[in-house]
A and B are shown apart, each in its own frame.
Chain A
Amino acid sequence: MPGPTDDYLAYRRWFDAGYGAIVRPPDCTELDGPTFTYSNQYTWTLEWYLVFSNDPKSYIRIGEHFAKRAGLSLSRRISFSYHFGPTVGTAADGTPLRNPADPVFVRIDDIYQVVHLHPARDATQHLPQSHVTGIVLDAVDLFDFVRASFKVREAGTLMADELGYRII
């Protein structure tokens, strides 16, 4: 598990340090910055959009949600979604629109199913860990994901190369 899940303050210390080390490319802007929705020290949600204005127009969306472990003074990650893909359209507030069939460069999430990867070849596919080698899907660091996306845009490489995974 990347990042501490003890509570919000521990997570924020970790996030702030990682965020401070990120160097965004010139064409990369954030929509409102990373946003933490917080209701108590054990329950918070992070949503972070990074949008690239140069062609190919694309965006990164990071989402992580944490809630309290039953009976313990600790949190756990309930769900997450790391998405990097072409921008198909934008809503009035500038948020990239997304439909399940839209293309992706890669998306890793655990929504509806155990953690899985949506590959570039077919965004509707849900590849579980058993079909992916080289990385542990639910241990991918969100900052590694962001940096890999930057590298893909800069060098024209593939997310599989930058994150170090292979689909089997």
Chain B
Amino acid sequence: MSPIREVYLSLNDVEQMILGLEGKYTLSSADFFRDEKSRERVPEDDAFRWQALVDHRRALKESYQEVHTGYLATLSHGGEIATGVEAQEQLAA
């Protein structure tokens, strides 16, 4: 079996890990990206993880939004069917 691992983090997991880094360095993610002087005390390996986690958070939020939008579209589509031609034919029958 391949030892290669795949880890799928939830948005909550990612948020918690980002909070962990923010707490460790008493630095918000916004300041981490904005303030060069503040982030000097963050070692490169943690900086690498921090940047990656923020990207994962953005990607997960976009995915969740797509799913949510798709769900709403399904609801809307279902509503049209109920009031559409099929429903009128059913009523007529």
Residues of A within 8 A of B43 (CB): 98-100
Asked if B9 contacts A33 (CB within 8 A), the reply is no
Interface status of A79 (Cβ within 8 A of chain B):
yes
Asked if B4 contacts A34 (CB within 8 A), the reply is yes
> What does DSSP make chain B's interface, helix, strand, loop or mixed?
helix
Residues of A within 8 A of B39 (CB): 112
Per-residue contact bits, chain A 112-153, to B (CB 8 Å; 1 contact, 0 not): 100000000000000000000000000000000000000000
Which interface class (under 10, 10 to 19, 20 to 34, 35 or more) fits B?
Answer: 20 to 34
**Whole-angstrom distance between the Cβ of B53 and the nearest chain A Cβ:** 9
Given contacts A81-B45, A98-B45, A100-B44, contact A65 B51 (CB under 8 A): yes
Asked if A79 contacts B5 (CB within 8 A), the reply is no
Which interface class (under 10, 10 to 19, 20 to 34, 35 or more) fits A?
Answer: 20 to 34
Partner of B59, one of A19, A34, A42, A61: A42
Interface status of B3 (Cβ within 8 A of chain A):
yes
Q: Within the assembled complex, what's the spacing in Å between the Cα atoms of A163 and B72?
A: 54
Asked if B3 contacts A39 (CB within 8 A), the reply is no
Asked if A43 contacts B48 (CB within 8 A), the reply is no
Asked if A111 contacts B55 (CB within 8 A), the reply is no
Given contacts A45-B56, A100-B43, contact A38 B7 (CB under 8 A): yes
Asked if B3 contacts A30 (CB within 8 A), the reply is yes
Interface status of A67 (Cβ within 8 A of chain B):
yes
Asked if B44 contacts A38 (CB within 8 A), the reply is no
A16-B2, A65-B48, A98-B43 are known; give 16 further A-B pairs, CB within 8 A.
A19-B4, A33-B2, A33-B4, A36-B5, A36-B7, A38-B7, A39-B9, A39-B59, A40-B63, A43-B56, A67-B58, A67-B59, A79-B48, A98-B45, A109-B44, A112-B47
A-B pairs, top 9 by smallest CB distance, nearest first, are A33-B3, A43-B59, A65-B52, A67-B55, A39-B59, A111-B44, A39-B56, A45-B52, A35-B5
Which residues of A does B touch, CB under 8 Å? 15-16, 19, 30, 32-40, 42-43, 45, 61, 63, 65, 67-68, 78-79, 81, 98-100, 109, 111-112
